[in-house]
Structure 1
Amino acid sequence: MGAQPAVRGSYWITTFGCQMNKADSERMAGILETMGYAPGSDEHSADLVLYNTCTIRDNAEQKVYSYLGRQAQRKRLNPHLTLVVAGCVAQQEGEALLRRVPELDLVMGPQHANRLGTLLEQVELGQQVVATGEHHILEDLTTPRRDSGSCAWVNVIYGCNERCTYCVVPAVRGKEQSRLPEAIRLEIEGLAAQGFKEITLLGQNIDAYGRDLPGITPEGRRQHTLTDLLHHIHGVEGIERIRFATSHPRYFTERLIDACADLSKVCEHFHIPFQSGDNDVLKAMARGYTVERYRRIIERIRVRMPEASISADVIVGFPGETDAQFRHTLDLIEEIGFDLVNTAAYSPRPGTPAADWPGQLSETVKVERLQELNALVERTARARSARYLGRVEEVLVEGANPKNPGQLMGRTRTNRLTFFPDEGQGLGALVPVRIEETRSFSLSGRSLAPALRH
């Protein structure tokens, strides 16, 4: 048995932003624990504080600076505190972050998450480190510290090659890098051995998986696609559910839809952002598809999987968006009937083309449109939830309801958050639940013992 690492103190990680950031944080927590750090009780007493940041919207970025100001004050009183900024703000700002917050020890972009240990060793030698250069993301053998005991994120492709005119992600996360299918399956087999029941394959643009990997089939198509990957991992014993996100309508194929319908472990839930319901706005965004193309994707899904839930992302107030174009977005939401839509008012991001365009809308107009949009999304979600009333749904137990310790919480295969009384079903149990109450974004019911599988 190898020697235990020296105890270095406690750590605290605060994560902002997307699922990719959450997965990166779990990996960095695993590295810190391998180094001898232990989870801290709060960020105001930890010996190492790491902010894993998001720059997709300005308010997320400003929140990071607010947090950093408090930690900088701590560091002036306690020079042994190690202060790290990781993620997209770190990549975007680089050395400018050090000028703004000179108390920082380490600034590192998302491509460097698996180098955290090496970078911290440089910090321990007294260096102030900035790691934002282009970096090939190697297979990382560190075991992440998973926040859930039943569901796990699995990165399958890093970076993004798209050039949406509003989005800073390609600049901060780098070019697409797909992991090899064998390595992905090996990680999933390890998760199954640890008792995980559900995995979510992650990518900034997951439908692009494999296009940077070599290999052509005899039929003349790419050998490595998301469809092929789903087939490759489907047989892993112990994994009961497979999800994937985030999809791009430009690359979402009928072959992928058919695979999802045919493979029993793939859940009936699709997250496919559409961003706008107007073709001229989509063209200005450089999204590479039309509303008609998006509509055909949803129609095909509902032919193959009538009960599938559909979620999406949408932006209102894009430069030059007219009221009529905004109404087209509302019309599409009403027509499709989404189960959930993540909404945002357009936020100009540094270095993106749209940030400098004429026709920027006032905050007043953006807020008004966002409020109208959110009201429609809530009504649509409530109508979609109503279909569950009286049904029996398979729910995977993810833990206790933090607001009611007498209840368990988990998700249906269609990704609806569901609460039901705790009758001793353990973490990771698949429980049949009769739905007795529906709300816009969650369900409640009663379990029909015994659990389906455990």
Structure 2
Amino acid sequence: MNEKKRLYNITTFGCQMNKADSERMGGILENMGFEFTEDPNNANLIVYNTCTIRDNAEQKIYSYLGRQAQRKHQETDFTLVVSGCVAQQEGENLLRRIPELDLVMGPQHVNRLDSLLEQVFAGNQIVATEPIHIYEDITKPRRESKVSAWVNIIYGCNERCTYCVVPNVRGVEQSRTPESIKAEIEEVARQGYKEVTLLGQNIDAYGRDLEGTTETGRNLYTFTDLLYYIHDVEGIERIRFATSHPRYFTERLIKACHELPKVCEHFHIPFQSGDNDILKAMKRGYTHERYRHIISLIRHYMPDASVTGDAIVGFPGETEAQFQNTLSLVNDIGFDQLNTAAYSPRPNTPAALWDNQISEQEKSDRLQRLNHLVSIKAAEKSQRYLNRVERVLVEDVNPKDTSQVMGRVEGNRLTFFKGDITSLKGKILPVKITQVRSFSLTGERVF
């Protein structure tokens, strides 16, 4: 490739795990001598890091790819890469559909991007989707934020939820060692980061694949133990984590979050449905009573804790009465925020083959009704912040009002206040909350 024009662009779709993967790929590419460009049309290497959770996300990717594939016919030094979950799911089918692709690479191969590209530059068209052991993160990521850093602690997922494609595309669970995780956190602290978010598809499964037990026979490497182990890294002031699974969420973890001052009192615990028969069909492994018990325990130890989650409406066979059970759970718990989605059949998942699919119209109606309730309950939960002084970690300028900066309170509510980003970025400041909305706050800095 022309050394003067080694420019790359990465477009990321989907979840926090994908964002973290993109940051690692950016670090690898810059190690290889590439420079980042905001404009994909200026780049001579483009990566689309893809998501297959929902069909509309997948279709959007094909429209992006079609536009860039045309460039391959005019530009000899242009490289087109598809990574992530669509790449893993489709594999060689992607090459048949878009023969202009140079590299199709599943999530487990992210840390091998440099060696795979060397094969591409040698004239090969590569598909890397075979299951492999993910070797340790050795390249410093090109992190999007200068304030808050993602840190992967476990890859893959061993659950078999009947609607979910993730285990098929991200592979089996593989925990990083506590030592490597702590070393990465110490490195981001040296770089000036104030907050880390520990990531895992099912974070409560951390350590199940690592060998070692205590004298009582308990697994030595639980997620709770990891929190204690990494808590006192100097310079890090906030620790967050996602995503939790109700089946494995323990009172011991709740107590740890209560005891450890740096761990934010914010819990993201997907429940997916408030109906036990639907949860059983989903193979989630818990009941709505179990979920409610977890939330009541959290609020027993931390009455002010912020609770967020995920919910799916229109799962195959869901009746109106079963949907009402989901509305009841949302109404009773009062989430600070809820990620909602209409069920979308995904390839190679059991639920996609069932003949009791719900109509798109019914799914859309239920989603609209759920979102309306979510907004009402979130607005109610926001009221507790009014006139309180909250500590806000300043992340960026408010794009809608450049006289304001924005950041998050410990409970993860987005918060805006007047200030200069050049002097305030990365600082944790006291802010008196003067306005509350369903999903954000406005305040005034307290001097």
Q: TM-score range by the shorter chain?
A: over 0.9
2:68 aligned with 1:81, yes or no? Answer: no
Partner of 1:254: 251
Q: 2:445 aligns with which of 439, 447, 451?
A: 447
**How many corresponding residue pairs?**
445
Q: 2:432 aligns with which of 422, 431, 434?
A: 434
How many Å apart are 1:159 and its aligned residue?
A: 0.1
Specify the code of the residue in structure 2 equivalent to 1:368: D
Separation in structure 2 between the aligned mates of residue 135 and residue 221 of structure 1, nearest angstrom: 29
Specify the code of the residue in structure 1 equivalent to 2:430: P
1:7–1:118 CA distance, 2 compared to 1 (3 A)? farther
2:229 aligned with 1:243, yes or no? Answer: no
Q: 2:369 aligns with which of 372, 375, 378?
A: 372
How many Å apart are 1:138 and its aligned residue?
A: 1.0
2:173 aligned with 1:183, yes or no? Answer: no
Separation in structure 1 between the aligned mates of residue 72 and residue 340 of structure 2, nearest angstrom: 37
**3-state DSSP of counterpart to 2:198:** strand
Partner of 1:283: 280
Q: Deviations over 1:106-153 (max 9, x none)?
A: 000000001001000000001001000011111121000010011000
Partner of 2:168: 171
**3-state DSSP of counterpart to 2:402:** strand
Q: CA RMSD in A?
A: 1.0
Specify the code of the residue in structure 2 equivalent to 1:259: A
Mapped contact 1:7–1:36 kept (Cα < 8 A): no
2:54 aligned with 1:57, yes or no? Answer: yes
Q: Deviations over 1:221-276 (max 9, x none)?
A: 10000000000000100000000000000000000000000000000100000000
**3-state DSSP of counterpart to 1:297:** helix
Q: 1:348 aligns with which of 345, 348, 351?
A: 345
Q: Deviations over 1:143-169 (max 9, x none)?
A: 000100110000000000000000000
2:156 aligned with 1:159, yes or no? Answer: yes
How many Å apart are 1:77 and its aligned residue?
A: 2.0
How many Å apart are 1:73 and its aligned residue?
A: 1.4
Partner of 2:269: 272
Separation in structure 1 between the aligned mates of residue 370 and residue 4 of structure 2, nearest angstrom: 51
* Larger CA deviation: 27-36 vs 399-408: 399-408
Partner of 1:302: 299
Give TM-score scaled by structure 2 length.
0.98
**3-state DSSP of counterpart to 1:215:** coil
Partner of 2:319: 322
Specify the code of the residue in structure 2 equivalent to 1:177: Q
Separation in structure 1 between the aligned mates of residue 228 and residue 343 of structure 2, nearest angstrom: 38
Q: Deviations over 1:70-121 (max 9, x none)?
A: 0011222223211000000000000000000000000000000010010000
Partner of 2:414: 417
Partner of 2:355: 358
Mapped contact 1:160–1:175 kept (Cα < 8 A): yes
How many Å apart are 1:30 and its aligned residue?
A: 0.5
2:221 aligned with 1:209, yes or no? Answer: no
Separation in structure 1 between the aligned mates of residue 251 and residue 35 of structure 2, nearest angstrom: 47
Separation in structure 2 between the aligned mates of residue 219 and residue 413 of structure 1, nearest angstrom: 35
Stretches of structure 1 lacking an aligned partner (at least 5 in a row): 450-454
Mapped contact 1:395–1:412 kept (Cα < 8 A): yes
Specify the code of the residue in structure 1 equivalent to 2:299: R
**3-state DSSP of counterpart to 2:331:** helix
How many Å apart are 1:404 and its aligned residue?
A: 1.6
**3-state DSSP of counterpart to 1:186:** helix
Give TM-score scaled by structure 1 length.
0.97
Mapped contact 1:8–1:36 kept (Cα < 8 A): no
How many Å apart are 1:349 and its aligned residue?
A: 0.3
Separation in structure 2 between the aligned mates of residue 418 and residue 199 of structure 1, nearest angstrom: 19
**3-state DSSP of counterpart to 2:153:** strand
2:23 aligned with 1:26, yes or no? Answer: yes
2:143 aligned with 1:146, yes or no? Answer: yes
Partner of 1:452: none
How many Å apart are 1:6 and its aligned residue?
A: 5.6
Partner of 1:402: 399
How many Å apart are 1:176 and its aligned residue?
A: 0.1
**3-state DSSP of counterpart to 2:434:** strand
**3-state DSSP of counterpart to 2:42:** coil
2:67 aligned with 1:70, yes or no? Answer: yes
Q: 1:229 aligns with which of 223, 226, 232?
A: 226
Partner of 1:130: 127
**3-state DSSP of counterpart to 2:424:** coil
**3-state DSSP of counterpart to 2:433:** strand
Q: Deviations over 1:278-301 (max 9, x none)?
A: 000000000000001000000000
Moved over 4 A (4+): 5-8
